[in-house]
Amino acid sequence: MSKTIIVTGSTDGIGKLTAFSLAEKGHTVYVHGRNETKVDAVVSEIKTTTNYQDIHGLVADFTDLEAVSKLAAQIKKDIPKIDILINNAGIFKTKEVHNKNGLDIRMVVNYLAPYVLTNAILENIKQSEAPRIINLSSAAQAPVSEAVLIGKEQDSANSTYAQSKLALTMWSFNLAKQEPNITVIAVNPGSLLNTKMANEAYGLHWSPAEKGVDILLHLALSDDYKNDSGKYFDNDKGDPKGYFSPAHPDAYDEAKIKALLATTKTLI
């Protein structure tokens, strides 16, 4: 059965490959990116290559939370039912460290933007008979510093990225509890996949991008995972496919999750 699926950050990397695969399977796909020209080009490329036309574009710069809120308002109006949201957009290497509000761009794109978007369109997601939210975490997870989160202090790129991914995972677990009718899964799609982000950051890769695409498709579509809400899937474990595994201990610490979400709410 065809599903309506939004994939954020899908103009390149595993997001783009995932959007392609979903189109090939006959799903209604919304491609998202920050550059309208690039989004239009990818939508056109998918339509031409797959000979499937139910592909649409969404444009918003995820470094700007106001733009994210505007996108959410557009989605609420234009897409009444969303079956699957894949929060894939992420950033590691960036020329500008802070956004216009003084927040670290990694924290904004990797955690705050998906938080804002998802919460704003939850009612549309709840219209699905079997809704899923797949949040792209990472093997890199580090305790979240409130000072870094609010932009008061700056940390290294590696540390801030790892903090943003743990924050996303902590929120994922909380969201799974708050919304028992939505399957929410956090996933490390694989470390150092052959993507633009990994190659720009480290100049090398360990695994093909398709490894990440395959697990995103499985987690999003397979009935095997319908009862796995509130879990973390580590695709670095096992071969060729990983398995559910413990995330960072802080992801299970109710006091730390409560503090993170309280700070997040004050920020946005």
Write the pLDDT tens digit of every residue in 64-76. Answer: 999 999 999 999 9
Strand order of the β-sheet with 55-59 is 55-59, 28-33, 4-7, 84-87, 132-136, 183-188, 231-234, 243-244
Q: Which of 109, 104, 137, 114 is nearest to 248 (CA)?
A: 137
Question: Measuring CA to CA, how many Å separate 187 from each of 16, 168, 219?
Answer: 17, 10, 9
184: closest CA among 231, 253, 251?
231
Q: Are 83 and 2 in contact (CB under 8 A)?
A: no
Beta bridge mates, 30? 6, 56
Enter the pTM of the model.
Answer: 0.94
Classify the C-alpha dihedral 139-157-193-85 as positive or negative: positive
Tens-place pLDDT, residues 169-204: 999 999 999 999 999 999 998 654 445 544 444 444
Given pLDDT bands bounded at 50, 70 and 90, which one contains residue 209? low
Q: How far apart are CA 64 and CA 194, in angstroms?
A: 27
Report how far apart, in Å, the C-alpha atoms of 178 and of each of 114, 120, 144 are: 16, 15, 21
Backbone phi and psi for residue 12, each to the nearest 5 degrees, phi listed first: -160, 180
**Count of beta carbons in the 10 Å neighbourhood of residue 88:** 25
* pLDDT, the chain, mean: 92
How much is the pLDDT for 190? 63
**% of the chain residues with pLDDT over 70:** 92
Give the percent of the chain with pLDDT over 90. 84
pLDDT tops 60 at residue 119:
yes
- Asked whether the predicted pLDDT for residue 161 surpasses 60, the reply is yes
According to the model, what pLDDT value does residue 204 have?
41
E strands present in 84-217: 84-87, 132-136, 183-188
Measured distance CA(119)–CA(73) in Å, rounded: 11
CB-based contact 186:167 (threshold 8 Å): no
pLDDT, position 211: 60
Confidence of residue 214 (pLDDT cuts 50, 70, 90): confident
Question: What are the beta bridge partners of residue 135?
Answer: 87, 186
Q: Please say if the pLDDT value at position 99 is more than 60.
A: yes
Mean per-residue pLDDT for 254-261? Answer: 98
Return the beta strands (E) in the chain as ranges: 4-7, 28-33, 55-59, 84-87, 132-136, 183-188, 231-234, 243-244
CA quadruple 248, 251, 256, 262: dihedral, nearest 10 = 130
Domains of the chain as residue ranges with CATH: 4-267 (3.40.50.720)
Backbone angles phi, psi at 240, to 5 degrees: -85, -10
Confidence category of residue 208, pLDDT binned at 50, 70, 90 = low
Average pLDDT over residues 91-117: 95
Cα(149)–Cα(157) distance, rounded to whole angstroms?
A: 13
Looking at residue 75, what is its pLDDT?
98
